[in-house]
Amino acid sequence: MIVLRRARILLSLTAAILLLTACGGGASTQEAQPTATEVAPQAAEPVVLRVGMSGSPDSLNPGNAWLTEATDLFELVYSTLIDIDFDGNYIPDLAESWTVSDDGLIWTFNLAPDAKFSDGTPVTAEDVAFTLLAYRDWADFGYMSGYATYFADVQAADEHTVVVTLTEPIGNMESQVLFCYILPKHIWGAFAGDLEAAVAFTNDEMVGSGPFRLVEYAQGEFYRLEAVKDHYGRPPVIDQVIFQTYANQDALVQALRAGELDMITELPSTVVPSLRNDANITVASGTSRSLRDYIFNLSSPETCPVDEGGICSGHPALRDPVVRQAMAHAVDKAQIIDVAELGLAQPGLGLVPAALGDFYASELKDYAFDIPLANKMLDEAGYLDADSDGIRECPAGMDCAGRQLDIVMQIPSDIGAGPREAELLSSLWGQIGIKMTPQVLEADTVTANCCPAFDYDMLMWGWGSDPDPSFILSILTSDEIPTGMSESCYSNPEYDRLYAAQTVEMDDAKRVEMVHDMQQMMLSDLPYIIPYYQMEVQAFRNDRFTGWPVPAEGSNSILYLQDPGSLTVVHPVQ
Amino acid sequence: MARRDYLLKRVAWSLLTILFVLVLNFFLFRVLPGDPTTSIAKDPRLTAETRASLARRFGLDKPLILNLQGGNPFDSQFFAYFDRLAHGDLGTSFNFNRPVSELLGERIGNTVLLVMGGQLLAIVLGMSLGLLAAWKNRTPLDTGAITFSLTAWSLPTFWLGILLLIIGSTYLGLPTAGKETVGVEFDSFWAQAVDVGRHLLLPTLTFTIVLLGEYMLVMRSSVLEILSEDYILTAKAKGLSHLQILRHHALQNAMLPIVTLIALNLGFTVAGAIQVETVFSWPGVGSLIFEAVRRQDYPVLQGAFLVIAVSVVAANLAADLIYGLLDPRIKAP
């Protein structure tokens, strides 16, 4: 049986090779993961921290990077003038201190004198001035251009002093420079005035002044950073950190369990209970600035942006604030949080999430979950169910007279728990005589239907807010209706006035009051129902590294373990 | 020269098929509403100029098929696509801002390593098992082999992969992702090869198990059919041993459908085992495609699908020709 014997020989050979590699690799595994005890200064083994993430940076160049994974990397290898801590307070980074003139137009930043780029050249005011002006002049350099719109002029007063003159006094200058990564002039200066070249630059070396420097990068696979031990501000304790991409979340969790990773930046909520049972793993949860929203189509024939392609096909009954308020009374946020987020969220109020601290209008009273009240409101407003089929109709006198309150909620398919959440909403609203049919669509289709087409009744979606509320507040302004940023076609002149006012309000207390007033309007007019603010859930091994900045229970501090504020302070378990 | 005419005709048809695929490829990804700038442009931090510039940068502001706005009517996305193809330019990835050909080139080696290994193992094991099962027809061994093969063939690839990943990682200490351990200096090529081997083990095993069933069952039925032929009975009557019968008569004839199957399957090799690569985060063409689908990266998808289509057509052509060579009964028409 020569054929069979040959097959058998091949089989045993293969098996032997497989076995060899399975066992023979054992030695290299131990080398790759130095144990926590090797911390003595004489040890040759560097202290390496391994982080697992789901995606990967799309570019090393801030000019064409759009993903959060890229931003995470920029935060580690670049500095900005000002940074923000987990409680939302602005803290010094490259700028040790800063002052503003009384008229709010001139900001003076004093730089750390010993700051250096990763190639050894000192960071000077020239680099800062060059960077800020470049961001202003490169009309579409990634997200950066949006932050530089108010810079009239930037001068290097001396080697370590930068003077920024604004076009008008703005109340949130710190949040503008928060993401302006300082680029070395001696490298990027070559692209001054040439946007195409600046964006085409691969930036493989990522010369920056952050607490880490890039040493190895394989796109879509991993990147390896080395600590800058003589960093001017916060030299990391660990020596290296490796961010590895896991295309599959189950593999990500398994890698943490198996000890291949020390921290993972995200995990599916379903795995949380079983991970909590593992003694070596800590699951941390904290506030994030992300929220879920249900959007009402408020566009009418008068407000429809026809020139920009507005279709405005929303159900007219949803334009009635009474209907929206009744629907808000029928939303059981506690139950939704349990079902959709497995309890890992907090009840929402308006577009400004609780994580924004003082800006969040915690004094406002939300619509209580009260089905009888909701039914009463709709009865009194004339939305009766004439044919007793369980669905109300519009009263006479409205343009939708006689039409059933039968609406469709469009849901982008990338919201995993979306269908389950929508099913729950459907049954809740069914109890007040409103029929809602969920429709799951490709995210791009929802985008196309949303704005400025306004070709929908309701949408389920979400937002992630900046630390400063200006951006999230802007999406309810009338100006954003034709641009496609306004998702609901909400138009309130008083809201617009307040928005413009808070942009240039220098007094913090006054600005906070204005932002609170705007949230009051949001709550009364209800262009959105915000069911919850999502919590950030991350996990790490507690037998390897310690010092992870996990927010205290009940606090509104942000959880973000891949932030420089976290990776520069963690140290091996002794 | 009937054979040469046959060859030319088959090659011509293959080229025509490829052309059809190219055209289809272009339209397929533009049929869906929305494009990358819509998804990127959702962020209000982007100014209107940025969005317009993004569209310009990727040629998305040009009309789709024909430019009827005066000037060159061929200045459209469609003809730009063919023009670039003629220069070997598969476009630039929307997400990575690098040439698609570069991205594919980097990853194809990894995919071939994974898939070839899996295919070879599956072929060898599948054929051996099939031959054995056919020979030991109607015994418990045969039944066992069929059950095993059917189960293996019907297992969902990603499910099997995750299962093997968890078992392999927990009990055998095998790595969970990537091609090599990151941040380690290898002293020798052998050390590096062993590391890659450890990363390759589970994905290859998954791939093999999933393919194995198909080869086994086809081989088994092919051999069974041949063993029932008259000439086998004649050979037995002539006093040839089992080995001689199997080797000289059965095997070669049974190989025919298998060769076709192998050639066709190999054509799909470069499709990368999308599921396997994604489960094991193996940096190949498959995971690139998965990522590109997620982020609507048309140029990458177009480029990858083009390469796959050409491979499949070429493999089909090869299968036809090999079959014609192997089987003397097939005369060139």
Q: What is the residue extent of each domain of chain B?
A: 36-93, 103-326
- Kindly report the length of chain A: 574
Residues 202-241 of B with CB under 8 A from A: none
CA distance A127 to chain B (A): 24
Report the residue from B97, B131, B182 with minimal CB separation from A222: B182
Question: What is the tens place of the pLDDT at every residue in A378-424?
Answer: 999 999 998 889 999 999 888 888 899 999 999 998 888 899 999 99
Per-residue pLDDT, A542: 94
SS3 sequence, B13-42?
A: HHHHHHHHHHHHHHHHCCCCCCCHHHHHCC
| pLDDT value at residue A30 | 36
Query: In the prediction, which pLDDT does A91 show?
Result: 94
- Element (H or E) spanning A439, and its range? strand A435-441
Q: Please name the residue of chain B whose CA is at the shortest distance from the CA of residue A451.
A: B42
Model confidence at A209, in pLDDT bands (50, 70, 90)? very high
Residues of chain B with pLDDT under 70: 1-2, 29, 32-51, 57-58, 70, 268-272, 330-333
CA dist., res. B260 & res. B262, Å (int):
5
Nearest to B49 among A20, A28, A140 (CB): A140
**Number of C-beta neighbours around residue B243 at 10 A:** 13
Q: What is the pLDDT of residue B332?
A: 52
Dihedral sign computed on CA atoms, order B101, B107, B109, B115: negative
Q: Are strands A435-441 and A406-412 parallel, antiparallel or unpaired?
A: parallel
Running DSSP on this structure, what letter comes out for residue A510? H
Chain A residue numbers with beta carbons less than 8 Å from the beta carbon of B124 are 7, 10-11, 14
For residue A421, the tally of other CB atoms under 10 A from its CB is 24
> 3-state class of A86 per DSSP?
coil
pLDDT for res A32:
39
Rounded Cα–Cα distance for residues A521 and A504 (Å): 20
Q: A483: nearest CA in chain B?
A: B48
Contacts of A140 in chain B (CB under 8 A): 46-47, 49-50, 53-54
Contact B50 A139 (CB under 8 A): yes
Interface of B with A in 241-270 (CB under 8 A): 242-243, 246-247, 251
CATH 2.60.200.20 fits B103-326, yes or no: no
Q: What is the pLDDT of residue A6?
A: 53
The answer, yes or no, to whether residue A22 has pLDDT greater than 60, is no
Q: How many Å is the Cα radius of gyration of chain A?
A: 27
Average pLDDT for chain A: 89
Which of the four pLDDT bands, split at 50, 70 and 90, describes residue A328?
very high
Q: Could you tell me if B46 lies within 8 Å of chain A, comparing CB atoms?
A: yes
Cβ partners under 8 Å of residue A515, min gap 6: A352, A359, A361, A469, A473, A502
Please indicate whether, in this complex, the C-beta atoms of B281 and A245 are within 8 angstroms of each other: yes
Closest Cβ opposite residue B177 in set A59, A139, A246: A246
CB contact under 8 A, A24 and B32: no
A268: chain B residues, CB-CB within 8 Å: none
Q: What is the pLDDT of residue A82?
A: 96
Give the residue with greater pLDDT, A211 vs B26: A211
Closest chain A C-alpha to B138 CA, distance in angstroms: 19
ipTM: 0.81
Distance from CA of B267 to the nearest CA of A (A): 24
Q: Point out the residue among B191, B243, B278 whose CB comes nearest to the CB of A248.
A: B278
Is residue A110 scored above 50 in pLDDT? yes
The confidence score (pLDDT) of residue B326 equals 74
> Which pLDDT score, from 0 to 100, does residue B1 have?
56
- Check CB contact under 8 Å for A250 and B296: no
Q: What is the mean pLDDT of residues A159-165?
A: 95
Residues in Cβ contact with B143 at an 8 Å cutoff, skipping those fewer than 6 apart:
none
Residues of A in contact with B195 (CB under 8 A): 25, 28
B138 touches chain A (CB under 8 A): no
Q: Which of A444, A471, A499 has the most B C-beta neighbours within 10 Å, making it the best mutation to test the interface with B?
A: A444
- Whether pLDDT at A27 is above 60: no
Q: Which of residues 69-128 of B touch A (CB under 8 A)?
A: 95-98, 121, 124-125, 127-128
Contact A11 B125 (CB under 8 A): yes
pLDDT in tens, A493-508: 999 999 999 998 888 9
CA B127 to chain A, closest CA, distance in angstroms equals: 9
Distance of alpha carbon A453 from alpha carbon A299, whole angstroms = 10
Residue A447 has pLDDT above 90, yes or no: no
What 3-state DSSP class applies to B14?
Answer: helix
Predicted pLDDT of residue A318: 95
Q: Which residue out of B181, B196, B244 would a mutagenesis test of the A interface target, given it has the greatest number of A Cβ atoms within 10 Å?
A: B181
Q: Tell whether B44 lies on the interface with A, counting CB pairs under 8 A.
A: yes
Dump pLDDT digits (tens) for A381-393: 999 998 889 999 9
